Amino acid sequence: MAKTAIVTGSSRGIGKEIAIRLAKEGYNVAVIARGSADDTAAEISALGVKAKAYKCDVSNSAEVDSVVSEISQEFGSVDVLVNNAGITKDGLFVRMKEEDFDAVIAVNLKGTYNFTRAAAPIMMKQRSGRIISISSIVGLQGNAGQANYAASKAGIIGLTKSVARELAPRGVTVNAIAPGFIETDMTAVLSDKVKEAMLDVIPMKRYGQVEDIANCVAFLASDNASYITGQVISVDGGMHM
């Protein structure tokens, strides 16, 4: 029976590329998004695997529990969970609104907690599974104007390492990926000046592509990574060493 992957925030950008890549590896895919992700699910289905879109607010634990239970019943298993859903609400810390801090923590960190908590018991019972959470280089080194985002992504790293220790005896690996500057819709809005400054601090002198992150996810989800857990893999062209 084909394995099943859940990818949150997969209607576009990095999440969509991850979902497509896992489909190409033969996984059935549950596409999770706050809005409609039917187009992504249809694109994945065309690759010859089962795919279905689910609307879900990752910060709402009741919605998450319901969706994961439904996926488990419809697909028969939950073998890979990719916690990718994320938002930004940037601003200097001293001016940052409390609601902007709370919103980013709720989606990025609490959302990762919610899906991990819902999927972990299923994987533990199967005695196999892969949990892969998308952190950020900002969670490793911080960034001015992104205290909320950095806190959420650093929190994902701490969560990953702790849960990895708990689930390892049950054959479930838990890892994080820390992307650097990846060309997506989220980064497209940045000014040329900011983009040029970023390029100056990337030793490889190029921006990352969504495929770079999807390739790393595919590796961590595979049998080739069965002895890797509790790790944070930077995919950033050497920005953070």
Per-residue pLDDT tens over the stretch 103-149: 999 999 999 999 999 999 999 999 999 999 999 999 999 999 999 99
Looking at the DSSP bridge assignments, the partners of residue 54 are 32
Residue 67 resides in a domain: yes
CB-based burial label for 228 (10 Å; 0-12, 13-18, 19+) = middle
CATH number for 134 = 3.40.50.720
Q: Tell me the per-residue pLDDT of 145-196, one tens digit each, with 9 for 90 and over.
A: 999 999 999 999 999 999 999 999 999 999 999 999 999 876 777 788 888 8
Dump strand ranges (E) for 110-212: 129-134, 172-179
69, 62, 49: which is closest to 4 by C-alpha? 49
The distance from CA 185 to its chain's CA centroid, rounded to whole angstroms, is 16
> Distance of CA 55 to CAs 36, 111, 174, 235, Å?
7, 14, 25, 29
CB-based burial label for 73 (10 Å; 0-12, 13-18, 19+) = exposed
> Distance of CA 5 to CAs 15, 61, 62, 77, Å?
12, 19, 20, 9
**Predicted structure pTM score:** 0.96
Q: Tell me the per-residue pLDDT of 52-96, one tens digit each, with 9 for 90 and over.
A: 999 999 999 999 999 999 999 999 999 999 999 999 999 999 999
How many angstroms separate the CA atoms of 221 and 6, rounded? Answer: 12
Q: Is 27 a catalytic residue?
A: no
Residue 35 resides in a domain: yes
Domain housing 22: 4-232
> Distance of CA 150 to CAs 71, 146, 190, 202, 241, Å?
31, 6, 18, 19, 17
Residue 168 resides in a domain: yes
Active-site residue, from 27, 113, 149, 207: 149
Q: What is the pLDDT of residue 74?
A: 97
Helix, strand or coil, per DSSP, at residue 59 = coil
Residue 130 resides in a domain: yes
Residue 136 resides in a domain: yes
Residue 184 resides in a domain: yes
Residue 103 resides in a domain: yes
Q: Per the structure, how many domains does the chain have? A: 1
Residue 122 resides in a domain: yes
